């Protein structure tokens, strides 16, 4: 693929991500956008906001399928509307209550005279933290994230006879099942390498995704007592679960470097790229974990549906089968819609085949992963104010 084709796809994915984020911002920030439209005397303000958001999402699909330079002009319009909606979301206010001190008691003619205590309620307008402020605060609590992650690792393997070996048992158990049923019975091709090595290259990063989802989505419920009593950014336990899962990933990667060549993997210097692919699978996993953690606080049904959802997502991703099973013209769209597809295929190429991953697929997955992460974080922060009361 020449440099012009890569640049074209990068521009296309960037435009799609921009339009999708702008459209979702219209729908998520419906009340603020409607109030702004009403202030401008726009008829049917609520319907106009919904239609505008849906049109942007539809425009993202059109850009993805039908590329034309005219969409560069549309980008300017989307950018203007996005900046407007950003100012509207930051201008929303929420009341802050303060109470004046009680008036002191006084004594007159030997009798105690109680002066009525007057409570003065003052409404002060304080802006809801912007995304930049929330990220700045989260960075200030980075030590707390690491402390939570260290605690999670210690608690997870405390009094376990096998210890961290449990991080390897799950992918190896799946490997045995996959090798028998997909490799022997279904006879799925391993892209030039034995199927056992082929499957293990994707099972190790997928185990990171599943672990992050399992522990991250229930992190707030596990730390309910701390959430009620101590202040810290509420996303800290979820991010700590993702950091703790990286320990299991590192252990699995070391085991693969030992076991992979025995199974038939063609290791090369390309394997050094493998750790750099971890953020690409972490972004969508963290975004989805943030959203599920917030929903879990209000609706405990999600914790029961999560294991089934993880299994379905695994079979919808190129874990047991190669990405080449998807038609070539749909692979980029597939990597964008399912952001773990590109990096999973990348792990397979750098660890199993010994070549560099496809930049086109990684760019599509990176764009989709950023959208998943942004949307999940946005939903989490929108539902955060009532966590301590509900949990």
Taking only the tens place, the pLDDT of each residue in 100-157 is 343 344 444 444 444 444 444 444 444 567 778 888 999 999 999 999 999 988 887 7
C-alpha–C-alpha distance, residues 210 and 197, integer Å:
20
pLDDT on residue 50: 64
- One domain, residues 263 and 384: yes
The mean of the pLDDT values for the chain is: 76
Claim to verify: residue 208 and residue 335 sit in the same structural domain: yes
Query: Which pLDDT does position 30 carry in this prediction?
Result: 60
Give the pLDDT of residue 120.
46
* Least trusted range by pLDDT, from 187-191, 234-238, 345-349, 363-367: 187-191
- Rounded distance, CA 75 to CA 56, Å? 11
Contact 352, 197 (CB under 8 A): yes
Overall average pLDDT of the 276-296 stretch:
93
Q: Assess contact for 357 and 346: CB atoms under 8 A.
A: yes
- Residue 120 lies in domain: 95-127
**Residues 225-255: pLDDT tens digits?**
888 888 888 999 999 999 999 988 998 888 8
Q: 46 pLDDT band (50/70/90 cuts)?
A: low
Distance CA 146, CA 154 (A): 12
Say which residues have a Cβ less than 8 Å from residue 312's Cβ, sequence separation at least 6.
none
Predicted confidence (pLDDT) at residue 6 exceeds the cutoff of 50: yes
Do 237 and 196 lie in a common domain? Answer: yes
pLDDT for the residue 238: 94
Q: Based on the domain organization, do 174 and 281 belong to the same domain? A: yes
Number of domains the chain is built from? 3
Residues in the chain: 391
Residue 123 and residue 189 in one domain? no
- CB-based contact 360:272 (threshold 8 Å): no
Do 291 and 376 share a domain, yes or no? yes
Task: Report angle CA 311, 313, 315 to the nearest 5 degrees.
Answer: 75
* Least confident range of 108-117, 151-160, 199-208, 337-346: 108-117
With b meaning 16 or more CB within 10 Å and e meaning fewer, what string describes 205-220? Answer: bbbbbbbbbbbbbbbb
Burial (CB count within 10 angstroms: exposed 0-12, middle 13-18, buried 19+), residue 295: middle
Do 335 and 226 belong together in one domain? yes
Contact 177, 199 (CB under 8 A): no
Model confidence pLDDT, tens digit, residues 61-81: 666 555 544 444 455 455 445
> For residues 287 and 372, what is the distance between their CA atoms, to the nearest angstrom?
5
- Shared domain check, 99 and 182: no
């Amino acid at each position: 693929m020449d440099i012009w084709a890569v640049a074209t796809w990068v521009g296309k994915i960037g435009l799609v991500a921009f339009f999708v984020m702008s459209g979702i911002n219209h729908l998520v920030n419906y009340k603020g956008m409607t109030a702004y439209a009403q202030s401008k005397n726009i008829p049917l303000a609520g319907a106009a906001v919904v239609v505008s958001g849906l049109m942007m999402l539809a425009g993202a699909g059109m850009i993805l399928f039908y590329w034309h330079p005219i969409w560069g002009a549309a980008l300017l319009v989307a950018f203007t509307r996005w900046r407007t909606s950003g100012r509207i979301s930051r201008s929303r206010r929420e009341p802050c209550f303060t109470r004046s001190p009680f008036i002191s008691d006084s004594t007159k003619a030997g009798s105690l005279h109680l002066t009525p205590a007057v409570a003065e309620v003052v409404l002060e307008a304080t802006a809801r933290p912007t995304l930049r402020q929330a990220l700045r605060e989260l960075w200030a609590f980075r030590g707390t994230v690491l402390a939570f992650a260290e605690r999670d690792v210690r608690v997870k393997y405390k009094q376990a006879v096998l210890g961290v070996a449990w991080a390897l048992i799950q992918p190896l158990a799946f490997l045995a099942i996959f090798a028998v049923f997909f490799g022997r019975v279904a006879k799925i091709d391993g892209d030039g390498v034995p199927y056992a090595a082929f499957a293990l290259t994707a099972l190790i990063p997928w185990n990171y995704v599943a672990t992050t989802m399992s522990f991250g989505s229930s992190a707030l419920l596990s730390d309910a007592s701390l959430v009620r009593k101590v202040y810290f950014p509420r996303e800290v336990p979820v991010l700590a679960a993702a950091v703790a899962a990286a320990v299991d990933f590192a252990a699995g990667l070391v085991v693969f470097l030992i076991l992979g060549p025995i199974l038939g993997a063609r290791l090369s210097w390309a394997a050094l790229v493998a750790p750099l692919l971890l953020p690409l699978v972490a972004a969508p996993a963290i975004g989805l974990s943030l959203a599920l953690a917030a929903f879990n606080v209000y609706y405990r049904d999600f914790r029961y549906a999560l294991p089934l959802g993880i299994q379905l997502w695994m079979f919808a991703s190129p874990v047991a089968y190669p990405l080449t099973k998807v038609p070539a013209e749909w692979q980029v769209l597939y990597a964008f819609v399912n952001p773990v597809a590109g990096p999973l295929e990348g792990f397979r190429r750098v660890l199993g085949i010994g070549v560099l991953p496809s930049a086109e697929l990684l760019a599509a997955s990176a764009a989709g992963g950023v959208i998943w992460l942004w949307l999940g974080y946005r939903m989490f922060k929108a539902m955060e104010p009532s966590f301590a009361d509900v949990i």
